[in-house]
A and B are shown apart, each in its own frame.
Chain A
Amino acid sequence: MPVVRLDSEVDFAGWRTAARSLRAQGVTPDDTLWTVDGEGDLFAPPLEAAAATGPAFTAPREFLALAQAVVLHRSDDRFALLYRLLWRLAQTPHLLQLTTDPDVARARDFAKAVERAAHKMKAFVRFRKVDEAPGEMETFAAWFEPAHRVTERTAPFFARRYANMRFSILTPDACAHWDGDALSFTPGADPADAPADDALEEFWRTYYASIFNPARLKVGAMTKEMPKRYWRNLPEASLIPQLIEAAESRSQAMVSAGPSEPNRRIVRAALRASRDAPYDGAAPTDLVELNAQVQACRRCSLWRDATQGVSGEGPRSARLMFVGEQPGDQEDLAGRPFVGPAGQVFDRALAEARVERAETFVTNAVRHFKHELRGKRRLHKTPDAGEVQACRWWLDNERRMVRPRVIVALGATAALAVLGRPTPIGKNRGQALQLSDQGQAVVTYHPSYLLRLPDEDAKAKAYAEFVEDLRFAQRLAA
């Protein structure tokens, strides 16, 4: 029976050379014995380094990646298992995809355990500071016992993270050293070679004990992720038994203490503040106050899923007022009317009609964004007559304060809000409609209607009419 002697416990290159040669010679997995130098039956005939005589073969790239991880596992039969897989790959090229095959499952379990050990090493290494020579980089060292032989595999992670300090990670298998430029490795070490203490550990333990919430003890969840085998090298783990023991009584004490008396100084201050507060609730007297009151509006239920109420903006002296339907997704987030896609169409049309937006007052019939969720998107939903009615209080207040000569209602919802009755756009656009407060109204399309029209010709025609209506309103207000 051929015996393969590998140079070290993690000698992947040696395994690969030997496996290649064995398979070429047709040596079956059952006939091979794998040992690491210095172990096993020393009198068995060593493997002859035979040149590959059989046909050339390949192994899938996935197998190489898997094997590199499996070699780091502490199980004794890992080399034999890998050779058996390599052997079987000749017959079954898609073997690795048969994830429920016993050999494949075992190898994948090994690889997973190795990955987990590497991840836990990233998590549980605890550096201690070493006095550095004057002018040198800060220097740290750690003693760590990984679950599998992952030191070499994990060291580059620490080098990336701590590129600008010197460190050594000592383990029973191997030691990794970083000097600020390059990683180097030495054989396994002894815990006594690492520094014994670090002044910061007392702070770390303080933090660990304080961040723990005794009212929700879940010891199982802790040990699942922080297995006991790691505890002896974790400075904080020594606290665990006493924290668990005191938890129930601390939590009980909080419950049985009952409600406490509030701080007396604070109570007096609160009473004073409520006595001196101004009376609130009347109609707003200026636009700033109106906006503040809109934020507290509960006249309908649209406020609930919206970010904020969006009030109109523009000078109080504006002669021209534009009323849209309601804020959209972007307006809801930004708190300003017509800033989204429809706002861009609106701005472009205003520019073509030579209307200065800053001199007009731009607002909406409804203050909050009505929408429905489609997956993670918020889709616009038309407000109903009840919501328009509820929101007229705000629009009417803006009209009262601004007193524009002409109000342009953009779309059917705005027309309903401004004129108080359903007013079809197509039939009524392009003419001045008399309002009860001596102003005049013009109805036209909503800019988002122009975005939605599928037919390019119809879109261009509607856009031209829209610009024409804006010019008309501008002349009317002059």
Chain B
Amino acid sequence: MSDYKNLLEVRNLKKYFKVHEGILQAVDDVSLSISKGLTLGLVGESGCGKSTLGRLVIGLLEPTAGEVVFKGSNVFALDEKGKSRFRRDAQIVFQDPFSSLNPRMSVFQLIAEPLLINKACRNRREVEARVMELMDTVGLAERLVTSFPHELDGGRRQRIGVARALALNPDFIVLDEPVSALDVCIQAQILNLLGDLKKEYGYTYLFISHNLSVVRYVSDEVAVMYLGQVVERSGNMVLFEDPLHPYTQALLSAVPTIDLDGEGKQKKRVILEGDVPSPVDPPPGCRFAPRCFRRQERCSSESPTLSEVKPGHFAACHFA
């Protein structure tokens, strides 16, 4: 094993899909890194390529260009042995616990699947013991072991999803909107569970969400995506206190707040014009330019690069 500074590094990653109208640039030249034991929150609106990025990072999709470096080696250049190791080390929890569990499998079978596929246990007894241990870890009652997913509520289903991801003792877990399909009170349960697991086992998370409050709650670092590109990245608090990119500013101003004091110190709301342009054959220049309130001539011809504006705080804007 070579040395590595970051557990995961994404370098100039691109994923293009061929569609009827042209080439859909779902992820376009994204670079990120996550240090061991930290959580990177990835925010952006629907269709900006967050989930595609999440799938690329654990090798579910092949990138068009660029590389994903995990523990110092490129994931897409691994041999068979390395690939199976990587699969154990990097796992994913899906957004919708109603469609991500095979309806024909019992809770036991669902959680045992990764163990059986990767032959992680020597015999049946070990599998059973491990499943019970995992159910206990994620807070599923023992009696549910023979239940089927449709008999359980969303929170319990998502716990199965989490247990399944933990089964092989991964280092890194992609959480693809793990709570957005759940009720608010159950969201809190799952978020706390994920937080506890991280504290106990030192997992590294890539937390994908469109919910800014949730991201703020769980993340150590935050990256903001817009139309397949990362437009701003920084340590958590800095980004929320002092957003540099106009898109982030607009996004943050849209978070509803509760004014308990009644002092009426409402934040100034930034209203964006227009719609998100299509990611199919996007125009040159800054992708946010058509909707930007700080737009100037330069923006529609010259594409800004993600550069360090303040120490540890990156933004892709000419005027940041």
Partners in one complex: no
Residues of A at the B interface (CB closer than 8 Å) are none
Residues of B at the A interface (CB closer than 8 Å) are none
